[in-house]
Chain A
């Protein structure tokens, strides 16, 4: 059987890839996809722990994360469309009216 450590390593790598994507990508949709990658890496961690601990909490958590991520995706896409109607760009560097 594949030991727990492997699952944890894979999800840690996926999570880091997601974080790197958020930091490096400039397109809103790509940033968004990187965030989804982070959430799914977490799901993998939950399911792996759930399996190895013989405890169902992790499964339930994964269900919740999935549905919440879907709601978040819907709202995120809607916001991107709203911003696109005001200003036709998907590049975060050009969305700069409010100074940071």
Chain B
């Protein structure tokens, strides 16, 4: 009897994913037996489970940092553990760790203290890592779905609240719809090139051994729709403000950073590695989407009165800036995206943390007016919010400025001056609505009494980390840029 040759198994290439999955399962199982302490050999308090999750994420983050170095291809070339993936994985771990830190107090306050929340966060992070590591369409799809399915549940986690379940339903229906397009695109690309492996797809395009060029172009277009939806680019952005508004705020913070970065990781990997040979065919499409995303995102953000919706539109416009880097398709662009996503993780989660700190159960204080005069009552909190707003607006010397600077210089270097100009004009528009909040905080008189703040140590730590990250990346960008440069796809 002939035995089947099994491909080489390299568990160390995915040990961060395994860490997250095992920790997630552990939390689920521990939670089951918490009410039945006699079945457990040791005593454990339900309050400890979030810290178990945090520990798992930190471990995964450390093992992602160990991944920097020569690229490792594992599992029959479906996993590419290179610097690009390692950099993204570190971003995911930072995003998830910060989310867990701000969730501990928030979820208790909202009476949502279920351990499944943390398990799902870990599973979603594992999915994002799989997307960053993916070197095959199958792994891209699996990672994307692991992330999305966890997020559908997380968006509707506050199941007693109509808005939360409604946002989950919208996210689910539109997400599954987009998955259909993405998959059809993958199927056509597979048919055209005869492989699901990104490198083999690239080789088939380069060696001109395509079965059908038409199918390839059709598939590429369908994949743009599918991935464009996941990163919330115009015209596939309609779900974003609704879902961001309805989901629990901690989850909104999480969704605006990790899954978006993961979507871009997959976007860059598939389009630059797999479909890099037909750049001419998709670049104009992405050009239009990038310009639309920036413009529509920023202009609609101007009209918002709810801070969560405003941040949702702002995150749409930021997706537009990152797409500019994809259009550039060069080394600076790829470097800039890594830097930008890291900076964005700090500043956006930071901004949402301030939103969480200012809210109480049943009284979330989400109107922009509620921020009037914040600095006169809570000067430090007002200052941190101002830092995040300035950074999101792209004002030097904060992290957001350098991110935008590198992205636009990448576009100019690649010859897309028009797109860079559109981006610059958009940044000017964006300054207006970010500054409006800062003006409210510093110049307006308070419209209401601010209650005394009760900020838990972990939330405070998350806020401090976010502020330090935002300022530090802005003032000393060079060391992180060096790492990003060594992690670029080119």
Contacts and interface: CB of A to CB of B under 8 A. Distances in A.
Given A45-B191, A57-B195, A64 B173 contact: no
A86 to B, nearest CB: 5
Interface string A48-87: 0100010101101100110010011001101110110111
A22 B179 CA distance: 13
A80 B184 CA distance: 26
Given A57-B195, A83-B166, A83-B169, A76 B242 contact: no
B151 to A, nearest CB: 10
B180 A42 contact: yes
A18 B152 CA distance: 21
A22 to B, nearest CB: 6
Nearest to B160: A86
Interface stretch (B60-68, B134-142, B352-360, B403-411): B134-142
Contacts of A60: 138
B190 A61 contact: yes
A8 B166 CA distance: 36
A71 B165 contact: no
A61 B196 contact: yes
Given A42-B183, A72-B145, A75-B153, A58 B173 contact: no
Contact of A68 (B145, B196, B197, B238): B145
A61 B246 contact: no
Contacts of B186: 42, 61
A46 B187 contact: yes
B165 A83 contact: yes
B172 interface: yes
Nearest to A41: B184
B112 to A, nearest CB: 13
B190 A71 contact: no
Contact of B138 (A22, A64, A82): A64
B248 interface: no
Interface string B116-128: 0000000000000
Contacts of A79: 152-153, 156, 165, 168-169, 172
Contacts of B194: 53, 55
B52 interface: no
Given A55-B195, A99-B242, 13 more contacts: A32-B173, A35-B176, A39-B179, A42-B183, A42-B184, A58-B187, A58-B190, A65-B183, A75-B149, A75-B152, A83-B165, A85-B159, A92-B173
16 contacts: A22-B173, A32-B176, A45-B187, A49-B191, A53-B194, A57-B195, A64-B142, A72-B149, A72-B176, A82-B156, A83-B162, A86-B161, A95-B166, A98-B167, A98-B170, A100-B242
